[in-house]
Homo-oligomer: A and B are copies of this chain.
Amino acid sequence: MAKSKASKAAKSAKGGKASKYVYFFGDGKADGDGKMRALLGGKGANLAEMTRIGLPVPPGFTITTEVCTYYYENKRVYPKVLKDQVNVAIAKLEALLGKKFGDTHNPLLVSVRSGARDSMPGMMDTILNLGLNDETVLVVAKKSGNHRWAWDCYRRFVQMYGDVVMGVQKQGKDDHEPFEEVMDRLKEEVGVKQDVDLTADNLKELVRRFKDLILKRTGKEFPQCPIEQMWGSVGAVFGSWNNDRAIVYRRKYGIPHEWGTAVNVQAMVFGNLGGTSATGVAFTRDPASGEKVFYGEYLINAQGEDVVAGIRTPNPIAKLAQEMPAAHAELESVRQRLETHFKDMQDFEFTIEDNKLYMLQTRNGKRTGLAAVRIAVEMVEERLIDWKSAVKRIPADSLAHVLAPIFNRSDRAEAEKAGRLLCKGLPAGPGAASGKIVFNAEDAVHEAHKGNRVLLVRTETTPEDLRGMIAAEGILTARGGVSSHAALVARQMGKVCVCGAADIVIDYTARVMQVKGRTLKEGDYISIDGTAGEVFEGEVKTAPSEVVQVLVSKSLDPKQSRTYQQFAKLMTWCNKLRRLGIRTNADQPDQAANAIAFGAQGIGLCRTEHMFFSGDRIYPMREMILAETVEARKAALAKLLPFQREDFAGIFREMKGLPVTIRTLDPPLHEFLPHDAETQRSTAHKLGVAPEKVAARVAQLHEANPMLGFRGCRLGIVYPEITEMQTRAIIEAAIQVRKEGIKVKPEIMIVLIGFPKELQLQLEIVHRVAKQVMEEKKTKVSYMVGTMIEIPRGALAADLIAKDAQFFSFGTNDLTQTTLGMSRDDSGSFLPAYAENEIVKSNPFASIDQTGVGQLMEIAIAKAHKTRPDIKLGICGEHGGDPESVKFCHRIGLTYVSCSPFRVPIANLAAAQAALEDEAKK
Q: Which positions in A face B, CB cutoff 8 Å?
A: 701, 703-710, 714, 717-718, 752, 754-755, 757-758, 761, 790-793, 796-797, 800, 814, 817-823, 825-827, 829-830, 833-834, 837-840, 849, 851-853, 855-856
B830 touches A718 (CB 8 A): yes
A827 CB contacts on chain B under 8 angstroms: 709
B709 touches A823 (CB 8 A): yes
Bound: A95/B830 CA distance, A:
87
Q: Nearest residue in B to A703 (C-beta to C-beta)?
A: B826
B817 touches A792 (CB 8 A): no
* Max count, chain B CB within 10 A of own CB: residue among A710, A755, A814, A820: A755
Q: Nearest residue in B to A754 (C-beta to C-beta)?
A: B820
B710 touches A708 (CB 8 A): no
A796 CB contacts on chain B under 8 angstroms: 819, 851-852, 855-856
B839 touches A710 (CB 8 A): no
> Which of B710, B825, B829, B838 sits near A826, CB closer than 8 Å?
B710
A837 touches B761 (CB 8 A): yes
Q: Nearest residue in B to A852 (C-beta to C-beta)?
A: B793
> Which of B706, B717, B800, B814 sits near A833, CB closer than 8 Å?
B717
* Max count, chain B CB within 10 A of own CB: residue among A717, A752, A839, A840: A839
B761 touches A839 (CB 8 A): yes
Smallest distance from the beta carbon of A157 to chain B beta carbons, Å? 40
Bound: A790/B827 CA distance, A:
18
**Given A704-B707, A755-B839, A833-B717: A821 and B856 interface contact (C-beta under 8 Å):** no
A814 CB contacts on chain B under 8 angstroms: 821
**Given A718-B829, A855-B796: A754 and B821 interface contact (C-beta under 8 Å):** yes
Bound: A827/B711 CA distance, A:
10
A717 CB contacts on chain B under 8 angstroms: 830, 833-834, 837, 839
Bound: A757/B833 CA distance, A:
12
Other A-B pairs, 8, CB within 8 Å; known A717-B833, A814-B821: A704-B823, A714-B830, A714-B833, A718-B833, A754-B852, A761-B837, A793-B853, A796-B852
6 sampled A-B residue pairs with Cβ under 8 A: A707-B821, A709-B827, A714-B833, A718-B830, A752-B821, A792-B821
B709 touches A790 (CB 8 A): no
Smallest distance from the beta carbon of A413 to chain B beta carbons, Å? 35
> Which of B704, B706, B752, B818 sits near A792, CB closer than 8 Å?
B818
A704 CB contacts on chain B under 8 angstroms: 706-707, 823, 825-826
Bound: A81/B39 CA distance, A:
87
A761 CB contacts on chain B under 8 angstroms: 837, 839
A757 CB contacts on chain B under 8 angstroms: 837-839
A817 CB contacts on chain B under 8 angstroms: 705, 708
**Given A705-B706, A830-B710: A758 and B839 interface contact (C-beta under 8 Å):** yes
**Given A755-B840, A830-B710, A837-B761: A823 and B705 interface contact (C-beta under 8 Å):** yes
**Given A709-B823, A823-B709, A839-B761: A797 and B830 interface contact (C-beta under 8 Å):** no
Smallest distance from the beta carbon of A824 to chain B beta carbons, Å? 8
Smallest distance from the beta carbon of A752 to chain B beta carbons, Å? 7
Bound: A818/B794 CA distance, A:
12
A709 touches B792 (CB 8 A): no
Ordered nearest first, which 4 A-B pairs have the shortest CB separation?
Answer: A791-B821, A793-B852, A708-B823, A709-B826
Smallest distance from the beta carbon of A716 to chain B beta carbons, Å? 10
Smallest distance from the beta carbon of A473 to chain B beta carbons, Å? 27
Bound: A80/B821 CA distance, A:
62
Bound: A790/B717 CA distance, A:
28
Bound: A714/B822 CA distance, A:
10
Bound: A830/B715 CA distance, A:
8
A821 CB contacts on chain B under 8 angstroms: 707-708, 752, 754, 790-793, 814, 818
A849 CB contacts on chain B under 8 angstroms: 793
A851 touches B792 (CB 8 A): no
A758 CB contacts on chain B under 8 angstroms: 839
Q: Nearest residue in B to A702 (C-beta to C-beta)?
A: B826
Smallest distance from the beta carbon of A863 to chain B beta carbons, Å? 10
A707 CB contacts on chain B under 8 angstroms: 704-705, 708, 821, 823
Smallest distance from the beta carbon of A604 to chain B beta carbons, Å? 21
A754 CB contacts on chain B under 8 angstroms: 820-822, 852
Bound: A61/B49 CA distance, A:
99
B851 touches A797 (CB 8 A): yes
**Given A704-B823, A837-B761, A838-B757: A792 and B714 interface contact (C-beta under 8 Å):** no
Bound: A796/B709 CA distance, A:
24
A820 touches B839 (CB 8 A): no
